[in-house]
Structure 1
Amino acid sequence: MAAEGQDLYESLKIKYPRSFSVAAAPGSAAAWRRALGTALALATVLALGASLAAVGALYARAERELRAARAAAAGASALPGCALDAASHGRLVQRLSIGWRYHDGKIYYFSSDRKSWQDAEDFCVSKQSHLTSVTSLEEQEYLAREAGKTFYWIGLTDLGTEGTWRWVDGTEYRQNMSFWAPQQPDNWDYGPLGREECAQIHPVGNGLWNDHNCNFTFAWICEKRLDVAGL
């Protein structure tokens, strides 16, 4: 009987559906794996290509900014009274390449961070500069244009001398060369926080000045003249 049973099952031929062929299943899995591998490889190549393109764009931008910085430094060096030795020229290029901006014999730093007025001035001093003063209509227009829609501290204050405004870098304050917004300064009282004793460029007034409480935090503008040592 065992032999007959063995012969019976050995001679039995099982017919599988076309969609579930024993021979076809391993082949389909292999094909699927090959397709998946190809897709993953293609996705990797595309991602790598996109990354390389992004890196290339950043490199090209950095190169453009560095060339512009060198050109600005060369222009500054040619100004009367602003001749720079090799070391100072190199430091100027470095500053310009990390965000400082050159304009008319001065360099400016427009922060992206926010600080109180005194902390902003301390930052500028740590960079051998001060919060910016404004000495001409042309400079005011430049700063207002660059400031855009952002509030920036400038180096004007009447701290300790109520009503007597002064530039923190020692520049003489002249009322006929001030650019206050209408009805400013108004010395608004914030109670325990104090009064408005520090000036800022105000975007609502297209860059005109507004007095504000010095303890509030805003972006700031540092300024350094190129004819001052310690660049």
Structure 2
Amino acid sequence: MAAGGPDLYETLQIHYPPSPPRAPAPRSRPATPRWAVGTVLAVGTAVVLVLGAALAVIIALHVQSQAELWEARAELAAAGTSGLLDPNSEWDPVPRASSRAQQRRRDAGTGSWLQGLSLGWRYHAGMIYFFSADRKSWVDAEAACRSAHSHLTSVTSADEQDYLAREARGGSYWIGLEATGPGNSWRWVDGTTYSEAQSFWAPGQPDSTDHGRWGQESCAQIHPVGNGLWNDHNCNFTFPWICKRSLMPP
């Protein structure tokens, strides 16, 4: 290098590539508190238990309805009318035109009866019953039963009373008993003869309480008092009701 000349390293320019941008450091997630994990597990367990209980109720109701249906079929068969379950069955050993027409009517009637069992009607001892979910006055409830070819239920035995009280499950339901005529004597709307000896009034009932402009208590209901014993109530008040009709077609 010549004396006094510029230093090579002083004039040399070095270009460095730009540094790549640094990615921001990931933020650490806060730890989930143990109490939150416990709450989620508790809620999940509760939901599973509720769903399990609901499923158990549905299965129990289905089993009950199937048992009632088979019991009804068995009673029809025992009565010698098993042929009614099959529209093509020739159960009359000497079929005639009139008997065939009657059979078709009975087939249709029995089919509708059995269909009713699958639509909410409940079977007991040759009768089927409907426990409503709606509320109506006594007169409107009887009209609803008539539209289903039935009447508000009569009660003719201790066994039937026990069945209705059990199925009512502590609810209040209109039954087909009303006080009419001279002396407000009680009668069953379906024509069954009323018997004081075969009645199931709660203690102190009927008491014919006067509800002023609403009138007196002239209609009967199954009532929670006395585990389903009868109570008289004003006919204009609204309650659920029980319809009854025979399993056998007319």
Fold-level match, TM-score > 0.5? yes
Instruction: Could you tell me which runs of 5 or more consecutive residues in structure 1 were left unpaired when the two chains were aligned.
Output: 1-7, 21-49
Q: Which runs of 5+ in 2 are unaligned?
A: 1-13, 27-47, 86-106
Residues in 2 aligned to 1:118 and 1:83: alpha-carbon distance in whole angstroms: 37
Q: Is the 8 A contact 1:159 1:198 kept in 2?
A: no
1:133 counterpart (124, 147, 154):
154
Higher helix share: 1
Could you tell me how far apart the structure 1 residues matched to 2:164 and 2:62 are?
26
Instruction: Report the equivalent of 1:75.
Output: 74
RMSD between superposed Cα atoms in Å? 3.1
**Secondary structure, aligned partner of 2:201:** coil
Q: Is the 8 A contact 1:158 1:165 kept in 2?
A: yes
> Would the alpha carbon gap of residues 182 and 72 (structure 1) be closer, same or farther in structure 2, given more than 3 Å must change?
same
CA contact (8 A) 1:77 1:89 kept: no
State the SS of the aligned residue for 1:203. coil
2:159 & 2:64 partners in 1: Cα distance?
24
Distance in 1, matches of 2:163 and 2:15, equals: 96
Larger radius of gyration: 2
Give the secondary structure class of the aligned counterpart of 2:185.
coil
Partner of 1:13: 19
Match of 1:112 among 123, 133, 136: 133
Shift of 1:125: 0.3
CA distance in 1, matches of 2:182, 2:80: 34
1:97 to 118, 122, 130: 118
More deviation, 112-121/219-228: 219-228
Name the structure 1 match of 2:246: 225
Aligned partners of 2:203 and 2:62: how far apart in 1?
A: 44
The number of aligned residues is: 189
AA matched with 2:25: S
**Structure 2-normalised TM-score?**
0.66
Aligned-pair identity (%): 51
TM-score, length-scaled by structure 1: 0.71
Q: Residues 10 and 195 from structure 1, CA distance in 2 versus in 1: closer, same or farther, beyond 3 angstroms?
A: farther
Pick from 156, 178, 182 the counterpart of residue 199 of structure 2.
178
The 1:174–1:66 alpha-carbon spacing in structure 2 relative to 1, beyond 3 Å, is: closer
Choose which of 201, 208, 216 in structure 2 pairs with 1:195. 216
CA contact (8 A) 1:82 1:227 kept: no
Aligned equivalents of 2:75 and 2:182: distance in 1? 36
